[in-house]
């Protein structure tokens, strides 16, 4: 007799259809129960934008006479890696995706023999079948093809894109190994040899049309089975509870003989006190406090009506009218509402750059009716900090290392506790009538402290030792004589310290734990960049260049904000099997934050650049986890690949449904109204001299009030001027080369005299044409252009074109290995043109030398993307309690782009070009 097979027929969730521009194999990063792709693509290593760096030569605003050979070589390696990845991705796509792996594995030969020897009566359903009408009402998809005479048709049916075993009838109980199991029981389920048993919650018992005895279950995921994977369990700076599991919506059908035993799993609500939680966990085999979904690698709160229920059914539907309350494992009520909404939330911008991310978040939140008070910002780049101060003068901007900032926060909390500022009424001390103000003359060479004006942690005097320091204003001296002094040398000025701490606490010069609503930031992970020749694949966290990700999470753990939003390059999901992206998720989940990961394309939110970036939401258990906003625009692909194992994290429209989005933007939409400038343009302020020609241009010219940016408060508007419309000045040789590049689509160094295209589309010098030289004596066509990418590249001295988009806005403006030339002017794109491609409003003025301005713009988060995320964040923040909606995506409203920016068809109109001082 052939033993019954225990390999389940899985009912897989229908994957969201990928957009046309994605060329990636579907393989979500979710442990054992997932799609697996055939073949492994070599990760692409794009050139990462350098984060918070400072040019050594601030006066060098001219393109270098010769490109850096090392940079060219590394860029060439980068291009080769990208080409290889694209090829392997394409090959993987042709192979197709394997079906999801069965949760209960087919038994081994020994197990099959044991089952064959066992009596059929050992494993069977208990009691009478469920009434047919009741079964059909609760599981209609099981019976859609029941009456067909064709056994090939009746064995499997499809419902909502899912393949399911058809049923003859349903039951409420089954007996396996002489133990009775009921609907709603949590059980261990046999896994493959050498693997831990799987864990599931029984949602159905049914007899299939093949007369097999089946059960369906919702899977619990251990931490190691999620996107976090077992590798992250070995990271030393955080740990996960072995008893913690996550309930998913994912279901599968399995033979009942694969059930091993019951397991006691307790639900712990987010508002359970720590001591009560510890007692609950101690009494249980396992516990869960969140759900897990492979889509967007989401760890989130449980829907109130779904805890302990079978799938989407309520507990009252569990078993044919039986009272299921005795089996309910809900220990605490669902999350209590967050604090009463005041319409204002505080925000800390870490690794802020020039402030693009927080600017966009504030704009988007304001559209939903929530005001974000961008209270604090931190960055290492002094020019970026200066830009942020200029555009957001009410923000406390600190130019320092993030790790020093964390130490400062810890020292600041200690000072606040030491001086009991939490209970102080801050009343100024006045002299009584009986007291006399006596000034004691100081000895020669002694200086007296007047007051403290600032505080920092670090080594401002370059002594070689970090510590807490105060900036001192000395009596009888002006601010030019202020100096940084260590705290140890100021112990004899306790009143000055107390006054500074009380004043600083009152003015919130630094955030304290629990006093921050939102932390956003993009910690640099330059250790994953293709420009880093010594990347550490085996242990990326030992690379000093990746440590800022750890620091970011340490600050989050210290301050415990309600919400976290982290941005980073997509390479954190590619390099070393996405180790750094998994680490970020792991840290948040270990800190008991909800988390959701997504990749967003800037072009999908109204920009003429592709630019894919990774975003990670975090939310405390008592608040609502934000969703990702669906695209508002179509996007033109520029070759960036979706990380294979995170393809389900791409925020995109379902192509099976009507997109209903705006057309993709091109360079003409963003740049056609800007004044013509030459290679040398010394003025950082100039007039427009033309009207806006597109809706994008009308919008980007709006003033702060129309943009819902209150950074300058109620200042009086003035006529707007155009800032930073300056190109990096090309040196004489490069300018002479650029002037000879034809003004046509696709033009580049290949169009220069003496170059021809040979076999395999590789360039070579034309032997029939003598080599042409510049007035300086250097060759018109440099050797590095001919050899870049082994002669196959089109990028050196390449022109962009008005009906195209760019892949991503870069931080360097040299044309030696990238297409960055203006379509019809002999220069590179200006800082303002790059800023427009990133969605910066025209009123946003940048500080520093031109090279530094390019770096600030290139490193920034695209403002329209941040604005869409800000709307999502405000929506979640204002929501008083979780309503059970676990969908990871939502559609932005129709008025997301202000009506003031809309142009009547066929009419360019006048711009709302006013600006606040």
Q: Domains along the chain?
A: 109-327 (2.30.30.490), 407-428+446-507 (2.40.50.40), 685-843+909-916 (3.90.120.10)
pLDDT at 793: 95
Q: How far apart are CA 38 and CA 346, in angstroms?
A: 47
Q: Is residue 835 predicted with pLDDT exceeding 60? A: yes
The tokens 């940016």 sit on which residue?
709
Mean pLDDT of 112-130: 68
Q: How far apart are CA 6 and CA 190, in angstroms?
A: 9
Helix (H, G, I), strand (E, B) or coil at 64: coil
Helix (H, G, I), strand (E, B) or coil at 68: coil
CB crowding 6-19: b at 16 or more within 10 Å, else e: bebbbbbbebbebb
Mean pLDDT of 766-778: 96
| CA atoms within a 13 Å half-sphere pointing along the CA-CB vector of 766 | 14
Catalytic residue ranges:
525
The reported pTM is: 0.86
Dihedral sign (CA 858, 863, 864, 870): positive
Which of 210-219, 329-338, 474-483, 773-782 is predicted least confidently?
329-338
Helix (H) or strand (E) holding 407: helix 402-418
Mean pLDDT of 606-625: 97
φ/ψ of 688, rounded to 5, equals: -75, -50
| Residue that wins the pLDDT comparison between 301 and 445 | 301
Q: Is residue 169 predicted with pLDDT exceeding 50? A: yes
Q: Is residue 616 predicted with pLDDT exceeding 60? A: yes
Q: Judging by beta carbons within 10 Å of its beta carbon (0-12, 13-18, 19+), is residue 520 exposed, middle or buried?
A: buried
Q: Is residue 53 predicted with pLDDT exceeding 50? A: no
| Residue that wins the pLDDT comparison between 119 and 817 | 817
The tokens 């060219």 sit on which residue?
72
> Which residues sit opposite 722 in a β-bridge?
686
pLDDT at 144: 73
Q: Is residue 693 predicted with pLDDT exceeding 80? A: yes
Mean pLDDT of 641-665: 88
For 363-397, the pLDDT digits (tens) are 999 999 999 999 999 999 999 999 999 999 999 99
pLDDT at 717: 60
Q: How far apart are CA 378 and CA 399, in angstroms?
A: 6
Mean pLDDT of 79-92: 56
């Amino acid at each position: 007799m052939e033993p019954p097979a225990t390999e389940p027929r899985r009912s897989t969730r229908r994957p969201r259809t990928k957009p046309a521009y994605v060329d990636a194999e579907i393989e979500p990063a979710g442990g054992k129960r997932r799609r697996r792709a055939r073949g492994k693509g070599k990760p692409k290593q794009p050139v990462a934008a350098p984060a918070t760096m400072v040019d050594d030569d601030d006066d060098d605003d001219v393109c270098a006479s010769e490109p850096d050979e090392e940079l060219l070589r590394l860029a060439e390696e980068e291009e080769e890696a990208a080409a290889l990845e694209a090829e392997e991705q394409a090959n993987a796509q042709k192979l197709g995706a394997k079906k999801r792996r069965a949760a209960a594995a087919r038994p081994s030969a020994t197990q099959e023999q044991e089952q064959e020897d066992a009596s059929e009566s050992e494993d069977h359903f208990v009691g009478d079948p469920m009434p047919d009408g009741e079964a059909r009402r609760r599981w209609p998809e099981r019976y859609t093809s029941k009456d067909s005479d064709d056994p090939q048709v009746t064995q499997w049916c499809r419902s909502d894109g899912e393949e399911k075993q058809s049923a003859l009838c349903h039951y409420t109980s089954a007996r396996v190994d002489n133990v009775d199991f009921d609907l709603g029981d949590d059980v261990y389920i046999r896994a493959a040899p050498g693997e831990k048993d799987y864990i599931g919650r029984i949602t159905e018992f049914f007899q299939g049309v093949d007369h097999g005895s089946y059960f369906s279950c919702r899977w619990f995921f251990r931490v190691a089975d999620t996107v976090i994977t077992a590798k992250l369990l070995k990271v030393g700076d955080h740990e996960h509870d072995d008893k913690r599991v996550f309930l998913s919506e994912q279901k599968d059908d399995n033979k009942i003989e694969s059930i091993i035993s019951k397991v006691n799993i307790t639900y712990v609500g987010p508002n359970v006190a720590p001591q009560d939680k510890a007692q609950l966990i101690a009494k249980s085999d396992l516990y869960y406090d969140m759900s897990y979904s492979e889509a967007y690698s989401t760890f989130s709160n449980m829907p109130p009506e779904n805890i302990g229920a079978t799938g989407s059914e309520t507990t009252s539907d569990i078993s044919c009218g039986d009272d299921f309350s005795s089996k309910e494992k809900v220990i605490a009520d669902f999350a209590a509402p967050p604090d009463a909404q005041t319409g204002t939330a505080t925000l800390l911008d870490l690794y802020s750059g020039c402030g693009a991310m927080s600017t966009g978040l504030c704009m988007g939140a304001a559209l939903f009716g929530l005001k974000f008070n961008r209270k604090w910002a931190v960055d290492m780049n002094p020019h970026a900090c200066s830009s942020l101060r200029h555009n957001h003068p009410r923000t406390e901007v600190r130019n320092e290392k993030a790790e020093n900032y964390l130490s400062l926060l810890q020292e600041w909390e200690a000072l606040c506790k030491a001086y009991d500022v939490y209970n102080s009424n801050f009343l100024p001390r006045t002299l009584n009538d009986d007291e006399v103000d006596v000034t004691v003359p100081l000895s020669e060479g002694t200086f007296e402290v007047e007051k403290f004006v600032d505080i920092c942690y670090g080594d401002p005097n370059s002594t070689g030792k970090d510590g807490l320091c105060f900036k001192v204003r000395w009596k009888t001296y002006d601010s030019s004589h202020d100096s940084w002094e260590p705290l140890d040398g100021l112990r004899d000025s306790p009143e000055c310290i107390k006054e500074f701490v009380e004043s600083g606490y009152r003015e919130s010069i630094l955030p304290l734990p629990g006093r921050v609503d939102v932390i956003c930031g993009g910690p640099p992970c330059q250790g994953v960049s293709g420009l880093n020749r010594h990347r550490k694949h085996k242990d990326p966290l030992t690379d000093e260049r990746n440590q800022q990700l750890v620091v970011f999470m340490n600050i989050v753990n210290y301050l415990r904000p309600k919400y976290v939003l982290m941005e980073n390059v997509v390479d954190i999901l590619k390099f070393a099997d996405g180790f750094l992206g998994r680490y970020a998720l792991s840290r948040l989940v270990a800190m008991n934050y909800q988390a959701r990961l997504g990749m967003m394309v800037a072009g999908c939110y109204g920009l003429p650049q592709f630019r894919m970036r990774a975003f990670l939401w975090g939310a405390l258990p008592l608040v609502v986890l934000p969703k990702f906003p669906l695209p508002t625009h179509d996007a033109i692909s520029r070759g960036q690949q979706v990380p294979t194992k995170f393809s389900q994290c791409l925020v995109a429209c379902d192509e099976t449904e009507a997109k209903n989005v705006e057309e993709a933007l091109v360079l003409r939409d963003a740049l056609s109204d800007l004044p013509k400038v030459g290679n040398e343009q010394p003025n950082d302020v100039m007039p427009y001299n033309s009207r806006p020609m597109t809706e994008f241009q009308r919008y980007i010219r709006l003033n702060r009030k129309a943009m819902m940016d209150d950074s300058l408060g109620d200042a009086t508007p003035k006529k707007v001027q155009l800032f930073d419309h300056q190109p990096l000045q090309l040196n004489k040789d490069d300018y002479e080369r650029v002037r000879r590049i034809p003004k046509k689509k696709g033009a580049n160094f290949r169009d220069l005299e003496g170059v021809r295209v040979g076999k395999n589309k590789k360039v070579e010098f034309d032997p029939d044409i003598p080599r042409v030289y510049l007035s300086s004596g250097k060759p018109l066509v440099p050797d590095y252009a001919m050899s870049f990418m082994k002669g196959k590249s089109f990028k050196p001295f390449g022109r962009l074109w008005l009906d195209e988009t760019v892949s991503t806005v870069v931080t360097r403006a040299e044309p030696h290995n990238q297409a960055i030339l203006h379509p019809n002017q002999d220069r590179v794109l200006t800082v303002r043109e790059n800023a427009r491609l990133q969605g910066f409003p025209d009123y946003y003025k940048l500080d520093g030398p031109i090279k530094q301005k390019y770096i600030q713009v290139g490193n920034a988060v695209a403002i329209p993307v941040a604005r869409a995320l800000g709307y999502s964040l405000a929506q979640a923040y204002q929501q008083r309690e979780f309503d059970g909606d676990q969908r990871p995506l939502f559609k932005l409203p129709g008025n997301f782009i202000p009506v003031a920016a809309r142009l009547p068809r066929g009419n360019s109109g006048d711009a709302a070009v006013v600006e606040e001082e």
